[in-house]
Amino acid sequence: MGNVLAFSEFSGANLKSSALSNIAFAREAAKAHGGEVIALLVGAGAQAASAHAAKFAPKVVVVEDGKLDHYLAETYAPIVARLAKEQGATVVSATATSVGKDLMPRVASLLDAGMASDIAKVEGKNQFRRPILAGNAYSNVEIATPIIIVTPRQSEFEAAAELPSAGTVTTAAAGDVNALGAKFEKLDAQKSDRPDLGDAKVVVSGGRGMKTGENFKVLEQLADLLGAAMGASRAATDAGMVPADWQVGQTGKIVAPNLYFAVAISGAIQHLAGMKGSKTIVAINKNKDEPIFQVADYGIVADWEKAVPELIAEIKKLKASR
């Protein structure tokens, strides 16, 4: 019997929706391990987000300390590892976001624990299904260590629903915080009113065929009309057309929105690995033979220069008539 310690990312007073997917995973794992879900919130503002976390987890542990104001894997990992032991956890999980992917291997190392990353499904107590070969195949892995570390994919676990009654919130000390020489310098974040790429219900992505960063403005117009997040292929981000954190794919973000637009993107397997779980895919490409059309629900064979402004005009008309 063991608990599941779910490292939960938050923003302001709320858990991020990626954290709610982790809690959904944690509930399944807790059932298999015969324990309970414990949400762990670490860092500046953790206390403020704890009431929201308690709507989803029967127990919430908060660690807030001036020395943890800026996330560093070096300072967070020992805290997560220590609390895993103190809280009787046999599973420690975090969503496979950039923080989760950065943090959890260190936690695994500190606990001498086996790790299953990017998992898509719980197959058994310590058995998980995870994609391999850029999402073209699945493997089932089994972890044999007493404590196991798991990073579930947000796109594979529906956000957890609220509990009938709120859980309890306790605080824990940070203890000795040793950054091992690592130092927070600055955060270069893109400020945007658009939804987070990982959380968005609609995503508009552009590829190399957009040709310049300036040309992405027309996609941004489409995104703003639909309340969408912006995404891109790696060819577009590598060429510096758009910010690197817009990259969708195997080595970028994994998204599964209700609606995904792939504009001037060929559909290389590494891109598909990041978006083929989307509920509806619309592809706009001038070449009808591109692989993107094999996964698209709706395909428009056309130059984006013509198709996207027409789409924008039609959406505006529709909105005006309502």
Which residues here bind ligand FAD, judged by CB under 6 A? 207-209, 233-236, 247-252, 264-266, 268, 270-271, 274, 285-287, 290, 303-305
Residue closer to ligand FAD (CB basis): 209 or 299:
209
Q: Supply the minimum distance, in Å, between the C-beta of residue 264 and ligand FAD.
A: 4
CA 289 – CA 44 distance, rounded (Å): 50
> Where does residue 35 fall: left (phi above 0), alpha (psi -120 to 50 degrees), or beta otherwise?
beta
35 vs 135, beta carbon nearer ligand FAD: 135
Q: Shortest approach of ligand FAD to residue 94 CB, angstroms?
A: 21
d(CA 287, CA 250) in angstroms, rounded, equals 23
Q: How far is CA 35 from CA 9, 32, 98, 135, in A?
A: 22, 8, 28, 32
Q: Shortest gap between Cβ of 248 and ligand FAD (angstroms)?
A: 6
Nearest to 297 by CA among 311, 280, 314, 318: 280
Q: How far is the CB of 301 from ligand FAD (least distance, A)?
A: 9
For the four alpha carbons of 108, 113, 117 and 120, in that order, the dihedral sign comes to negative
In 8-85, which ranges are E strands?
10-11, 14-15, 37-42, 59-63
d(CA 170, CA 156): 30
| Minimal CB distance residue for ligand FAD | 249
* Residues 101, 151 contacting (CB under 8 angstroms): yes
Question: 222: part of which helix (H) or strand (E)?
Answer: helix 216-226
Give whole-number Cα distances, 148 to 20, 93, 144, 209, 275, in Å. 20, 8, 8, 43, 28
Residue 74 Cβ vs ligand FAD, minimum distance, rounded to whole Å: 27
Helix, coil or strand: residue 141: strand
Q: How far is the CB of 276 from ligand FAD (least distance, A)?
A: 12
How many Å separate Cα 31 from the centre of its chain?
23
- For the bound state, the minimum distance from the C-beta of residue 309 to ligand FAD, rounded and expressed in Å, comes to 12
Nearer to ligand FAD, 4 or 264 (CB): 264
Nearer to ligand FAD, 2 or 274 (CB): 274
Q: Nearer Cβ to ligand FAD, position 89 or 275?
A: 275
Q: Minimal distance in Å, beta carbon 122 to ligand FAD?
A: 26
Nearer to ligand FAD, 131 or 167 (CB): 131
Compute the radius of gyration of the chain from its Cα atoms. Answer: 21
Q: Strand, coil or helix: what is 40?
A: strand
Closer residue to ligand FAD in complex, CB, 2/299: 299
Secondary structure of residue 26 in the 3-state scheme: helix
Of 131 and 274, the one with the shorter C-beta distance to ligand FAD is: 274
